[in-house]
């Protein structure tokens, strides 16, 4: 799909590759703003090193927007990952990057504190209790202002600015205040809670007001957009009409119309499909099965080690199936990949201890000399290894208690080029709205989860193929490029104001 962001490369000369070539005078017609820049530091010889000391970050957002950044007069604003270090703007892989500096205290208060110990649990239905600290809020406001200031310095007249995710919810209003000429979009990658939960946030009005600075606020699910609009009406007294808010200034004059819509994010379908067809990755999948003793069924879970992912519920269901005799370690193995996540946050340390203790208990109870019940892998793996795991697994378990989307589910389906395999998917993941032929279940219902797992294990090949074909068709037609183009096209549409 053609991107609605105009290709300006012929109209303007692009800045050079060194920081001194950019300076504050460099202006851009398109800017992406996210907590992190789309690059990671790397040592010489590391995978992905191109000699610059940086490599492109993995992830769907970078995959979706990096090609566009290279073709347009655009720049990406974000933190470069090292606290207490100031970098000048630079270029990498055809992208112009504008680093935002964060101190070590700000990383602790703004990121680990307010973003991940206040907003994250609150927005995920209070699965864990959120903490409310004024010092965290003060840091959040200060850092959001710094991101907004970086955009203001570099945004050309009438530029399009796309702000990403919950760490930067105040930025749209901050931009609107000083640069009303900008076209401002915001996309929330995680769920947005219902007003009854959002009401707990002491700074609820400021967050809603911050988001309403955007022309378009995007969400993963229609229900999230609805929750946001209901909160805007309840906490700001906003006039909401057909997913639109007529935003007024202090004098009661309408400044702009803010819209809220669902734009479910997707994956780089071409990359996953090509990897799944590579002979070396197909051979690696065969080797994985062989190393596990060629069990009849391999079940797979792939998650960040986060309390929202339902890992404990998954392990409990698997353990009960072993205890019931429905599964045996001779025939079934569960591979659980749990990537390290936020290890300086206390609740994440406790979760890791609980999960590892549960895995040890299951294996101690059910392992034999020849077979292991759960292969627990507390690592991050390159995409090639992940695709090999997708090919090796007969059943994919996505048991999230709350998830904005869950791209692992879409990656698994995309990798199944032979239309085999089965997906057990939580109805509380955004992906459930698109992947309706998955075995949908409520992860809080352990008996229902067990039933879904056994249905997947015993599913006839013809039915599995029918379901997988349907899911693959949906994903192939709605890849990550489709997502970004849809959002930007909607952002740039003219809105007819109806004041009646």
Taking residues 418-436, what's their average pLDDT? 98
- Percent of the chain whose pLDDT exceeds 70: 92
Q: Nearest 10 degrees: CA dihedral of 271, 277, 283, 286?
A: 100
14 by Cβ neighbours in 10 Å (0-12 / 13-18 / 19+) ranks as middle
Provide CB contacts within 8 A for 91, sequence distance 6+: 15, 16, 17, 97
Mean pLDDT estimate for the chain: 91
* Total residue length of the chain: 500
Provide CB contacts within 8 A for 92, sequence distance 6+: 39, 52, 54, 56
Contact between 229 and 189 under an 8 Å Cβ cutoff? The reply is: no
The per-residue pLDDT for 1 is 45
pLDDT band of 365, cuts 50, 70, 90: very high
Q: Which residues pair with 247 in a beta bridge?
A: 256
**Least confident stretch, 69-83, 165-179, 276-290:** 69-83
217-269 confidence digits (pLDDT tens): 999 999 999 999 999 999 999 989 888 999 888 777 888 999 999 999 999 99
pLDDT band of 496, cuts 50, 70, 90: low
Pick the CATH number of 19-265+483-491 from 3.40.50.2000, 3.40.50.720, 3.30.420.80, 3.90.1150.10: 3.40.50.2000
Taking residues 120-139, what's their average pLDDT? 97
The CB-based long-range contact list for 70-73 (8 Å cut-off, 24+ gap) reads: 70/94, 70/95, 71/3, 71/7, 71/9, 72/3, 72/5, 72/6, 72/7, 72/8, 72/9, 72/29, 72/30, 73/8, 73/9, 73/11, 73/12, 73/14, 73/28, 73/29, 73/30, 73/156
Secondary structure E strands in 363-437: 374-377, 395-398, 422-426
pLDDT band of 500, cuts 50, 70, 90: very low
Residue 5 has pLDDT above 60, yes or no: no
Taking residues 427-455, what's their average pLDDT? 98
Provide CB contacts within 8 A for 232, sequence distance 6+: 208, 212, 238, 240, 245
| Euclidean distance between CA atoms 382 and 475, whole angstroms | 22
**Least confident stretch, 29-38, 224-233, 267-276, 335-344:** 335-344
The per-residue pLDDT for 23 is 44
Taking residues 456-472, what's their average pLDDT? 98
Q: Which residue has the higher pLDDT, 65 or 468?
A: 468
So where are the chain's domains?
Answer: 19-265+483-491, 269-478
Contact between 63 and 480 under an 8 Å Cβ cutoff? The reply is: yes
For residue 441, what are its two tokens? Answer: 């279940």
**Which superfamily does CATH assign the domain made up of 269-478 to?**
Glycogen Phosphorylase B; (3.40.50.2000)
Residue 494 has pLDDT above 90, yes or no: no
The per-residue pLDDT for 50 is 66
377-406 confidence digits (pLDDT tens): 999 899 999 999 999 999 999 999 999 999
The per-residue pLDDT for 393 is 98
pLDDT band of 498, cuts 50, 70, 90: low
Residue written as token pair 């067990």: 450
The per-residue pLDDT for 347 is 83
Catalytically active residues, by annotation: 189, 403
How many CB atoms within 10 Å of residue 375?
17
Q: What is the DSSP letter of 52?
A: S
pLDDT band of 13, cuts 50, 70, 90: very low
Closest C-alpha to 36, from 68, 14, 61, 17 = 61
Residue written as token pair 């197909």: 282
Q: Which residue has the higher pLDDT, 25 or 198?
A: 198
39-81 confidence digits (pLDDT tens): 988 877 666 566 778 988 876 678 778 777 767 779 999 999 9
Q: Which residues pair with 259 in a beta bridge?
A: 216, 244
The per-residue pLDDT for 499 is 52
**Euclidean distance between the first and the last CA atom of the chain, given in angstroms as a whole number:** 36
For the entire predicted model, the pTM comes to: 0.92
- Percent of the chain whose pLDDT exceeds 90: 79
Domain pair 19-265+483-491 / 269-478, same fold: yes
Q: What is the CA radius of gyration of the chain?
A: 23
């Amino acid at each position: 799909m053609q991107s609605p962001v105009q290709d300006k490369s012929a109209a303007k000369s692009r800045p050079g590759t060194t920081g001194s070539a950019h300076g504050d005078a460099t202006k851009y017609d398109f800017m992406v703003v996210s907590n992190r820049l789309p690059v990671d530091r790397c040592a010489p010889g590391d995978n992905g090193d191109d000699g610059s000391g940086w490599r492109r970050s993995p992830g769907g957002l970078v995959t979706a927007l990096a090609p566009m950044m290279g073709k347009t007069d655009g720049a990406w604003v974000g933190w470069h990952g090292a606290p207490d270090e100031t970098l000048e703007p630079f270029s990498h892989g055809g992208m112009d990057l504008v680093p935002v500096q964060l101190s070590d205290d700000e990383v602790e208060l703004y990121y680990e504190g307010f973003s991940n110990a206040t907003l994250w649990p609150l927005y995920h239905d209070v699965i864990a209790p959120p903490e409310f600290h004024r010092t965290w809020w003060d840091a959040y406001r200060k850092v959001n202002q710094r991101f907004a200031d970086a955009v203001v310095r570099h945004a050309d007249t009438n530029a399009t600015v796309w702000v990403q995710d919950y760490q930067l919810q105040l930025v749209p209003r901050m931009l609107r205040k000083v640069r009303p000429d900008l076209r401002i979009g915001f996309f929330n990658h995680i769920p947005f809670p219902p007003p009854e939960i959002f009401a707990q946030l002491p700074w609820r009005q400021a967050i809603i007001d911050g988001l309403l600075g955007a022309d378009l606020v995007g969400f993963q699910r229609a229900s999230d957009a609805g929750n946001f609009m209901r909160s805007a009406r309840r906490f700001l007294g906003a006039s909401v009409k057909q997913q639109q808010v007529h935003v007024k200034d202090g004098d009661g004059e309408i400044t702009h119309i803010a819209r809220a819509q669902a734009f479910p994010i997707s994956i780089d379908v071409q990359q996953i499909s090509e990897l799944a067809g590579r002979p070396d990755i197909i051979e690696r999948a065969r080797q994985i099965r062989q190393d596990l003793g060629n069990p009849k069924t391999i079940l797979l879970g792939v998650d960040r080690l986060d309390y929202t992912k339902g890992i404990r519920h998954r392990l409990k269901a698997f353990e009960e199936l072993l205890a019931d005799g429905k599964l045996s370690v001779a025939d079934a193995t569960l591979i659980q990949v749990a990537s390290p996540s936020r290890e300086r946050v206390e609740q994440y340390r406790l979760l890791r201890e609980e999960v590892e203790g549960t895995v040890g208990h299951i294996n101690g109870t059910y392992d034999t000399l020849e077979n292991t019940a759960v292969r627990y892998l507390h690592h991050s793996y390159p995409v090639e290894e992940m695709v090999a795991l997708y090919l090796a697994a007969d059943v994919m378990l996505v048991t999230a208690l709350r998830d904005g989307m869950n791209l692992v589910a879409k990656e698994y389906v995309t990798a199944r080029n032979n239309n085999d395999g089965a997906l057990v998917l939580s109805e509380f993941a955004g992906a459930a709205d698109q992947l309706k032929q998955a075995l949908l279940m409520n992860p809080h219902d352990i008996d229902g989860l067990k039933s879904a797992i056994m249905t997947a294990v015993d599913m006839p090949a013809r039915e599995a193929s029918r379901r997988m074909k349907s899911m693959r068709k949906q994903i192939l037609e709605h890849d990550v490029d489709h997502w970004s183009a849809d959002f930007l096209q909607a952002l740039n549409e003219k809105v007819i104001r109806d004041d009646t």
